[in-house]
Each structure stands twice: as structure tokens, then as C-alpha cells.
Amino acid sequence: NPICRKNKSWKFRYKQFYYRAQNFYKDVPASEEGMMGDFVEISEIDLEGSRQFLKKFGPGKAGTKRALDCGCGIGRVSKGVLFPVFESMEMLDMMEEFILHAHECYLGDYADQVEAYYLYNLQEFIPPTKRYDVIWLQWVACHLTDKDLMKFLMRAKQSLRPNGVIIIKDNMARQGCKLDPIDSSIIRQLDIMKNIIQTAGLTILDVEKQEGFPEAIVPVWMIAMR
């Protein structure tokens, strides 16, 4: 990953990498259309794929006390996938506008089930230990450098309750890695993502491709680990 290469300009490039992402999302509307990047027509397909994948690790296999939605945006995944399963939710995003819209408008009655909102960059967030049955990261792992993603996964592992799982759902490159300089997202090949996960000391439980998306869209995969 060229972002993580340590040379004289490394610190500047590192800060620029995260600054570009923050700057990009300032112009993204707090709506389902904004969260889906103008692909709102596939939102329900995406949510149904996530619901089915979560069932493999849901009631009877892992607890349903509490989940954490990382990079939650306005709460599209929380509302469509997580709230119906878990007694309570905690939600994290770096954009205050998204969290405010989630709480005040989008979540409706589900807002009463939110124990905490975290206004944090994921690379800086230290989750409480032994707290979550599921930690969900959708379209947010791509915004971390390899090293920061590995470090976050190590911290996340410590925050799982017994039989808890971490689920990453993200774009995966067909080959190698691709950096988008506009929103500072890194699309990694599935094997590269697996290597980061295993280097972080996690065991991969299941891997599944999201079906039903148009061919023009970068492949999206779901990975469960603990």
C-alpha cells in the first residue's frame, strides 16, 4: 500500500489521505441516496444480503444484546439489518451531520434503542472491551490504511463478547489494490483483505459475495471473523 510507505513525506501523505475522505463526505447529503452513492436502487438488495449473512451468526449462535455499527452514516444498515435483531445499538461515524440526521429523523422509534453515538474517525476509536455481540463495518474499512485497519481489528477483537463476530462488508478489487484519490478509499483484492485480518490475529469464519448487484459495480464481499 503506497499510503503506508514510510519516507520523508509519509506524515503529510498520511494526513492528506484522511483529510480527503473527511472533505469528500462534507458534500455527501444525509440521505439514502447519499449513503449509496447514487446507487439507491440496490439498497434493499444489499440489506437483504446482509440480513441473510447475519443470520449465520445471530440468535442461537451469538448473543443479541448489543451491536456496533462502524461508519454508520445515517443508519441505513442499522435500521435495515441490525435494529431488528439486537436489543441495543451503538453507532459511530466521523460526520456529525449524518449522526444528527440518524437520531433526529431517519431512525424514527429505533433511536430509543441507541445507547451511544460516537463522533470519531475509526482509526482513532478505541471500543470498550467485551461489549459487543456484532461489530459491523460496511464501506468503511476501505477508508483505512492497511496498518490502521489491522490495528482497529485488533482492538475490535478485544471488544467482542463471547461468540461475538466482526463483519466487514466492502468493495473488493478483482486484482491488486486501487486507491481512489477523490474519497481516499482503497479497494483491496479479497486475498489482501484476508491477509490483513489474519495478521490482526483474527480467525475468518465465513466469506460470501453479495449477489444481485449490476456487473458494472465493483464486487462486494462479506467477511465474518472473530
Q: pLDDT tens digits for the chain (226 residues)? A: 444 444 545 676 888 999 999 999 999 999 999 999 878 999 999 999 999 999 998 766 778 999 999 999 999 999 999 999 999 999 999 999 999 999 999 999 999 999 999 999 999 999 999 999 999 999 999 999 999 999 999 999 999 999 999 999 999 999 999 999 899 999 999 999 999 999 999 999 999 999 999 998 999 999 999 9
How many other C-beta atoms lie within 10 A of the C-beta of residue 200? Answer: 18
DSSP letter, residue 3: G
Kindly list the domain boundaries of the chain, sorted by start residue.
2-225
The conformational region for residue 160 under phi > 0 = left, psi -120 to 50 = alpha, else beta, is beta
User: CB neighbours of 13 closer than 8 A, spacing ≥ 6?
Assistant: 3
In which residue are the cell numbers 490502521 written?
148
CATH superfamily of 2-225: Vaccinia Virus protein VP39 (3.40.50.150)
Amino acid at 116: A
Quote the Cα angle for 185-186-192, to 5°. 155
- Helical H segments across the chain, by residue range: 10-26, 32-35, 43-55, 76-77, 96-101, 146-158, 190-199
The conformational region for residue 108 under phi > 0 = left, psi -120 to 50 = alpha, else beta, is left
Annotated binding site for S-adenosyl-L-methionine: 71, 76, 122-123, 138
Parallel, antiparallel, or unpaired for β 88-93 and 132-138?
unpaired
Annotated binding site: 71, 76, 122-123, 138
Parallel, antiparallel, or unpaired for β 185-189 and 177-180?
antiparallel
